[in-house]
Structure 1
């Protein structure tokens, strides 16, 4: 088992521990980033760190020296001799007294782990989650460590015979899947739900938008059933959607290859 980095110190994963009063463990008071590793390099690290910085501001964490974090992430890659896979950086507000009010000052606690490249399915079947995503919450646009709504939605989808859950927001517009953005091919163009509808500002999503390969558009679940093709996009991969509930979605192999080449080389 690979070693992990806790607050700048390498330890064996089986021996790693956090204090019992850690707010990330007790309250989900934390934030994280997952970064793809290719050829021993952290892909788009600057983008991930910029998103992390925004999330830390939203959560009102004290400032953290990002150069030190990046140095520790790179050191762990070398230490574990990782050439491909994924790295996760998790930051909690640290230890604190019982209750919700954060300690003042807080002492953030971070853990860095590396993982093999996850196996992805060739295609996924999506069930619409029975509860909406709160697109008005300030947490909707950051990768905080409380993923319970997504976990519950995915569990329920699997129980129904599907692979993942599709979130609509409280206005009925498509937001995202449990842990991925939605990319839709419609009338010959690629569109994706806007952040204002509850879509996480994903790194792959942002790159597609910046290159004008995709545009933002509010979408209903019905519009998805009329799509020419649909994909789930994340930092780690791209997977085609075969069904929305029991409605079959067409495949587009040519566009799939184009998106894969652009996003992942």
Structure 2
């Protein structure tokens, strides 16, 4: 925490921290494998873009990476996940940031999360604002996703699919959408509200996937659907009441490419 090792139960933030009070912060979740940060350069590049967009003061990224590596070593972490959270820091009452902000940061490690083999998707009752500049960064206000997850669970689903205000698929609550149509993999474009995910970007760069605007009706007749994140690839078994076919062979191939 801010360059010091602190036991999680003893870590505290000031009562005037803007991240706590206003969600004025940003984060990255990075996969850990064989004791190393996976795709760290990509995560830090996305973080840098987000910090610039939010008008945060300059943060020395080499120092952040050094702290992340040191924490992995301190916790003897071989596999799992690491989260870096940065708040703008303390500030006076009100929305306007202080003229000279001093960001706070917290780095935490977590065991490999227990992921489901497959998930059932509801459709969120409210759209994602794909026109907002915040749609492309991982800021610390996840209330829309939390609400969508809560409502999905009340209906017997595991997660929720966000459509944008024009009716096109954006993403799930915390993952990108990858869909198979015939022999073609597609994913919604960033312009439709998709976060520029790390795994999604690697698939696009290798021409294993292409961008295409999709509706919920399009997805309902897909030959397979996956939720893609930096931590894994999970098959979608149902979209609302539509059963989605599974393609275990392709999923294994994609998982091997993305995660080794």
Give me the TM-score of the superposition, normalised by structure 2.
1.00
TM-superposed deviation, 1:140? 0.1
Residue in 1 that maps onto 2:225 = 230
TM-superposed deviation, 1:110? 0.3
Residue in 1 that maps onto 2:175 = 180
Residue in 2 that maps onto 1:194 = 189
TM-superposed deviation, 1:188? 1.3
Are residue 263 (structure 1) and residue 258 (structure 2) matched?
yes
Q: Distance in 1 between matches of 2:252 and 2:71?
A: 32
TM-superposed deviation, 1:57? 0.7
Q: Distance in 1 between matches of 2:99 and 2:4?
A: 25
TM-superposed deviation, 1:187? 2.3
SS of equivalent to 2:6? strand
Q: Distance in 1 between matches of 2:53 and 2:112?
A: 30
TM-superposed deviation, 1:17? 0.3
Residue in 1 that maps onto 2:204 = 209
Q: Distance in 2 between matches of 1:145 and 1:257?
A: 32
Residue in 2 that maps onto 1:18 = 13
Q: Distance in 1 between matches of 2:5 and 2:154?
A: 39
Out of 62, 78, 83, the residue aligned to residue 67 of structure 1 is 62
Residue in 1 that maps onto 2:74 = 79
Q: Distance in 2 between matches of 1:225 and 1:35?
A: 31
Query: Residues 110-162 of structure 1, C-alpha deviation per residue, up to 9 Å, x if partnerless?
Result: 00000000011010000000000000001000000000000000100000000
Give me the TM-score of the superposition, normalised by structure 1.
0.98
Structure 2: gaps (5+ residues): none
Query: Residues 188-246 of structure 1, C-alpha deviation per residue, up to 9 Å, x if partnerless?
Result: 10000000000000000000000000000000000000100000000001100000001
SS of equivalent to 1:10? coil
Q: Distance in 1 between matches of 2:100 and 2:150?
A: 38
Q: Distance in 2 between matches of 1:129 and 1:94?
A: 32
Query: Residues 42-72 of structure 1, C-alpha deviation per residue, up to 9 Å, x if partnerless?
Result: 0000000000000001111011000000000
Deviant stretches of 4+, over 6 Å: none
The alignment of Structure 1 onto Structure 2 pairs a total of residues equal to 260
1:116-135 matches, within 5 Å, as 116-135=111-130
TM-superposed deviation, 1:106? 0.5
Residue in 2 that maps onto 1:3 = none
Structure 1: gaps (5+ residues): 1-5
Residue in 2 that maps onto 1:160 = 155
SS of equivalent to 2:82? strand
Q: Distance in 2 between matches of 1:78 and 1:121?
A: 29
Residue in 1 that maps onto 2:166 = 171
SS of equivalent to 1:31? strand
SS of equivalent to 2:207? coil
Q: Distance in 2 between matches of 1:173 and 1:188?
A: 22
Q: CA RMSD in A?
A: 0.4
